[in-house]
């Protein structure tokens, strides 16, 4: 859904009272809204706008990708190299705690590419073959992560602390199994949802990141190199299994990726655009790009799966 400014350059924050009814109607119906033609005067104004929906902005806890804090509650989008494609996913669907709302602010669109595609998670759920959908719903998904060792983000960055005791406390509170390996690095396991039900609409959505964490997401040469380095697949920087520990085969995730791609909607960023997504109803991605690009992110309204 595109909400275009009637008065070009009007500050987005000042327009919010007039837009709120439309936002309330369309966000649930469409899953996402793009605000275009308004002025947003930098990261602080973006932060104020996102926070004005009534929930404190969230810190990026237990993150899976590198980001940098821009200002309180505002972060860079995932800092992967420009040539890499980031597949569709719902933010932090690899956890049992996730933000219900996420905002993107395009300060500088790329010269080429760099779009943030979106997709309807309800439609993805409906179109997923029933055998796959039922298996993920019944078994859940186990995410296994091995931090650091020069292969992935270090546990200190992920948990925001150098204290092993604090990591253990966080994991205990969030139902994450953790173990310290002989080299001092950390391994975690967490069983999470494969599908989820939206707390407001009651609709079921496809809600996991199995296709991102699975080894089949890697380029073949990277996959072979990593398997030469580690003792077994449980030692990979990240991998995923069904919740009972049984393997997810490559063919299943090929089908999953095909369904996701079928629903991908790509729109070009314009400088000053702000996109607001219901994080359960809409997945997002990132296209490869050339030239400078600056898109920053804020998240709010935590939801915990019981």
Do 81 and 133 fall into the same domain?
no
CA–CA separation, 66 vs 77, rounded Å? 9
More confident residue, 153 or 11: 11
pLDDT at position 3: 85
DSSP string, 218-283: S-HHHHHHHHHHSSSGGGSSEEEEETTSPBPPHHHHHHHHHHHHHT-B-----TT-EEEEETTTEE
pLDDT at position 1: 83
Do 67 and 131 fall into the same domain?
no
pLDDT at position 150: 67
**DSSP-derived secondary structure letter, 78:** P
More confident residue, 227 or 184: 184
Per the structure, the complete domain to which residue 56 belongs is given by: 2-119+266-304
Residue 259 has pLDDT above 90, yes or no: yes
When the pLDDT of each residue in the chain is averaged and rounded to a whole number, the result is: 91
Comparing 8-12, 241-245, 270-274, which segment has the lowest mean pLDDT? Answer: 8-12
Split into its structural domains, the chain has a count of 2
Do 60 and 180 fall into the same domain?
no
**Model-level pTM?**
0.92
Do 91 and 128 fall into the same domain?
no
Do 197 and 69 fall into the same domain?
no
Residue 177 has pLDDT above 60, yes or no: yes
Average pLDDT over residues 272-294: 97
Do 254 and 187 fall into the same domain?
yes
**51-101 pLDDT tens trace:** 999 999 998 877 777 778 899 899 998 888 899 999 999 999 999 999 999
Residue 223 has pLDDT above 90, yes or no: no
Do 150 and 255 fall into the same domain?
yes
CATH at residue 276: 3.60.130.10
Residue 284 has pLDDT above 60, yes or no: yes
CA–CA separation, 134 vs 3, rounded Å? 37
Q: Give yes or no for a contact between 103 and 301, defined as CB atoms under 8 angstroms apart.
A: no
CA–CA separation, 28 vs 21, rounded Å? 12
Do 97 and 167 fall into the same domain?
no
Do 145 and 230 fall into the same domain?
yes
At 186, give phi and psi (nearest 5°).
-110, 140
How many degrees, rounded to 5, is the angle at CA 204 between CA 143 and CA 202? Answer: 125
How many degrees, rounded to 5, is the angle at CA 136 between CA 133 and CA 142? Answer: 160
pLDDT at position 306: 53
Do 111 and 129 fall into the same domain?
no
| Confidence at 196, pLDDT banded by 50, 70, 90 | very high
How many degrees, rounded to 5, is the angle at CA 83 between CA 156 and CA 216? Answer: 70
Do 129 and 249 fall into the same domain?
yes
pLDDT at position 153: 79
Do 78 and 157 fall into the same domain?
no
**18-34 pLDDT tens trace:** 999 899 999 999 999 99
Residue 133 has pLDDT above 70, yes or no: yes
């Amino acid at each position: 859904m595109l909400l275009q400014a009637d008065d070009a350059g009007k500050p987005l924050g000042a327009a919010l009272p007039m837009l709120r009814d439309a936002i309330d109607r369309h966000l649930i119906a469409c899953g996402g809204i793009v605000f275009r033609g308004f002025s947003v005067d930098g990261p602080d104004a973006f932060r104020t706008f996102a926070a004005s929906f009534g929930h404190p902005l969230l810190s990026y806890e237990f993150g899976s990708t590198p980001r940098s804090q821009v200002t309180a509650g505002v972060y860079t989008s995932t800092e992967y190299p420009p040539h890499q494609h980031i597949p569709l996913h719902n933010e932090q669907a690899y956890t049992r705690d996730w933000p219900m709302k996420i905002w993107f602010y395009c300060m500088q669109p790329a010269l080429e590419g760099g779009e943030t595609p979106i997709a309807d998670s309800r439609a993805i759920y409906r179109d997923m073959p029933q055998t796959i959908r039922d298996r993920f719903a019944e078994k859940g998904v186990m995410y296994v992560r091995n931090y650091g060792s020069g292969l992935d983000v270090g546990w200190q960055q992920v948990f925001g602390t150098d204290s092993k005791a604090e990591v253990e406390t966080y994991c205990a509170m969030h139902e994450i199994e953790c173990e310290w390996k002989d080299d001092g690095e950390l391994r975690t396991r967490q069983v999470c949802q494969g599908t989820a039900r939206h707390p407001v609409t009651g609709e079921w959505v496809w809600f996991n990141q199995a296709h991102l964490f699975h080894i089949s997401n890697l380029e073949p040469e990277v996959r072979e190199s990593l398997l030469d380095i580690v003792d077994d697949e449980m030692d990979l920087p990240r991998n995923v299994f069904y919740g009972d520990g049984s393997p997810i085969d490559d063919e299943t995730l090929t089908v999953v990726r095909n369904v996701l791609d079928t629903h991908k909607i790509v729109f070009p960023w314009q400088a000053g655009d702000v996109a607001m997504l219901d994080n359960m109803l809409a997945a997002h991605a990132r296209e490869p790009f050339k030239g400078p690009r600056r898109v920053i992110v804020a998240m709010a309204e935590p939801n915990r799966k019981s």
